[in-house]
Chains A and B, each alone.
Chain A
């Protein structure tokens, strides 16, 4: 999650005080992990230094809440580029789940029991997220959905692997140390 680009994006929506920026960030992107003020101001000062944001005095005096941050053309270009760019397709070919299964088979540990346990914890988490979805607003629903679809994908892999465990064991054991 890129905090600088996200804050820039919020600034393109409207010039803001640091305080409002934090509030908007927390509303949309900070569910379960809000952004500390320190990080907001540190990020804004870096963006200012790099010419992506300028400061605009809205009322006389000093103190951070008197200043509004305004996005520059350079900042806006950066936001556009970033928004259009696909993210590297993630799920890595080898996850920790995969490593555990292969090692368990190699070392003659109960891989099926591990997979059953993994399945139970994934489903328990999915139940929690489903409860969140039933009570939350649309933003919470969207976030929970994203997590749910990913957990579901893991679980499908867990099921497929469980079904092929014997064949997998044979193949792995063929490679001698």
Chain B
């Protein structure tokens, strides 16, 4: 089984604080992996390294056969834009834009023409139960609605990998379930690989398997398994 994404011996410190101390993780194409572990153990840092947001001090990250360590800052940011999607705990929608513009944003950044981008963004609204909310601003949405908009934005460009950091962290359990149902169904549908950071077992139970991060290391057997 070849991994689409892997971390090998990744170390990273913030000043004197070691956040990752030799983290290994290997994710198969199309797999949904939950990353669990105590607060401060290094889950988000690992996700940021895997996604090429942070460059590790030591160890390597590979995506689709390419060593991210060898890429320039610019090349990594292109990779993030073209191949990766992101959903965070708080949707981080752009408040000045309408929801449909927010969803279209990754397409616009990738150079898709505005009318085509808006059209593709609109297609997500029915699917995620957001019909009629296209022209609202993010301040006019409930938390669950905003999170579904963020999910649409994360998926609209058809990423190879979706990185989700506590995507249901701010939601009640039924709303969180709705977001997870949609996330998993869409990822399966598109064959998107998902790295899902969560401390909630009920959320992790949507994944194909879970790994635990403790003190900057991945402790549960971390080999990729076929989904």
Q: A: which residues have CB within 8 A of B?
A: 116, 119-120, 122-123, 126-127, 129-130, 134, 148-149, 151-152, 155-156, 159, 163
Indicate if B206 sits at the interface (CB-CB under 8 A). Answer: yes
Chain A CB within 10 A, most for which of B200, B205, B207: B205
Could you give 12 example pairs across A and B, Cβ below 8 Å?
Answer: A116-B212, A120-B220, A123-B210, A126-B202, A127-B207, A129-B205, A134-B184, A148-B202, A148-B205, A149-B202, A152-B200, A156-B201
- Which residues of A are found within 8 Å of B206, using beta-carbon distances? 127, 130
Partner of A155, one of B201, B219, B220: B201
- Which residues of A are found within 8 Å of B200, using beta-carbon distances? 152
Cβ-closest chain B residue relative to A128: B205
Determine whether the beta carbon of B201 is less than 8 Å from that of A123: yes
B119 to chain A, nearest CB (A): 30
Knowing that A126-B204, A127-B206 are A-B contacts, what are 5 other residue pairs whose CB atoms are under 8 Å apart, sorted by A's residue number? Answer: A119-B212, A120-B220, A156-B201, A159-B38, A163-B38
B residues 18-61 near A (Cβ < 8 Å) are 38
- Which residues of A are found within 8 Å of B181, using beta-carbon distances? 134
A36 to chain B, nearest CB (A): 33
Q: Which range holds the interface residue count of chain B?
A: 10 to 19
- Which residues of B are found within 8 Å of A155, using beta-carbon distances? 201
* Binary contact readout B168-200 vs A (1 if CB under 8 angstroms, 0 otherwise): 000000000000010010000000000000001
Determine whether the beta carbon of A126 is less than 8 Å from that of B201: yes
Determine whether the beta carbon of B220 is less than 8 Å from that of A116: yes
* Binary contact readout B201-221 vs A (1 if CB under 8 angstroms, 0 otherwise): 110111100101000000110
Please judge, given known A-B contacts A120-B220, A123-B210, A130-B206, whether A152 and B38 are in contact too, CB under 8 Å.
no
- Which residues of A are found within 8 Å of B204, using beta-carbon distances? 123, 126
Partner of B205, one of A120, A127, A163: A127
- Which residues of B are found within 8 Å of A151, using beta-carbon distances? 201
- Which residues of B are found within 8 Å of A122, using beta-carbon distances? 201
Determine whether the beta carbon of B205 is less than 8 Å from that of A130: yes
Chain A CB within 10 A, most for which of B184, B200, B206: B206
The distance in angstroms between the C-alpha atoms of A130 and B201, with both chains bound, is 11
The distance in angstroms between the C-alpha atoms of A48 and B175, with both chains bound, is 47
- Which residues of A are found within 8 Å of B38, using beta-carbon distances? 159, 163
The distance in angstroms between the C-alpha atoms of A163 and B204, with both chains bound, is 19
B75 to chain A, nearest CB (A): 37
- Which residues of A are found within 8 Å of B205, using beta-carbon distances? 123, 126-127, 129-130, 148
The distance in angstroms between the C-alpha atoms of A149 and B181, with both chains bound, is 17
A132 to chain B, nearest CB (A): 11
The distance in angstroms between the C-alpha atoms of A123 and B207, with both chains bound, is 10
- Which residues of B are found within 8 Å of A156, using beta-carbon distances? 201
Cβ-closest chain A residue relative to B180: A130
The distance in angstroms between the C-alpha atoms of A130 and B202, with both chains bound, is 8
Partner of A152, one of B201, B207, B220: B201
